[in-house]
Amino acid sequence: MEMVYDILLITIPALLVLLASYLVLRKLIINDQEKRRQELILQNNRTITPIRLQAYERLVLFLERISLESLIVRVHSPGMSAAQLHGNLLSGIRGEFEHNLSQQIYVSQQAWEVVKNARSNTVKLINTEFEKLPEGATGLEFSRRLLEKVMELEKEPTKTAIEFLKSEAARFM
């Protein structure tokens, strides 16, 4: 019986040490895994944040390029008819939009919707003013009407979208 008692005196403390060692090592491994996960997240943020900011930058540039003042200056040429200008304006917006479609991956869904709405509202404005023109109107008349309409608006659709993108991008800086 004494031998069993001696074995128990040796075995029980050894089991307690083993259990304590197991718990300490388990905690260390969990902490190390958590630390590595945090480092990975931080490294991803260092990589993704510049790309996201660049996407916001490109979308702001897109919106600036499709603002009516900028667009008219780029696509209007002397002697152009209103129909030609109308087609060139819509073609310019479509081309710019297609060029920047991939940016939606890097911005929030709400930001992308704001950009799409600005584009749609700009196209709608162009189409509405074109329909009001008399037959055979010149491109100069059309561009003047568009610019007058823009002046009447409280805020041009592209300007509103740019403000939204700037405020959202500010959160990443």
Domain boundaries, the chain: 50-170
Nearest to 62 by CA among 88, 94, 35: 94
Give the number of other Cβ atoms within 10 Å of residue 107's Cβ.
Answer: 20
HSE-CB at 106 with a 13 A cutoff on CA atoms is 21
- Mind listing the pLDDT tens digit of every residue in the chain (173 residues)? 788 888 888 888 888 889 999 999 999 999 999 999 998 888 877 878 888 999 999 999 999 999 999 999 999 888 899 999 999 999 999 999 999 999 999 999 999 999 999 999 999 999 999 999 998 899 999 999 999 999 998 888 999 999 999 999 988 77
Q: Which two tokens stand for residue 117?
A: 């709405």
Q: How far is CA 157 from CA 5, 30, 54, in A?
A: 87, 51, 22
SS3 77: coil
Say whether 2 sits in a helix, a strand or coil. helix
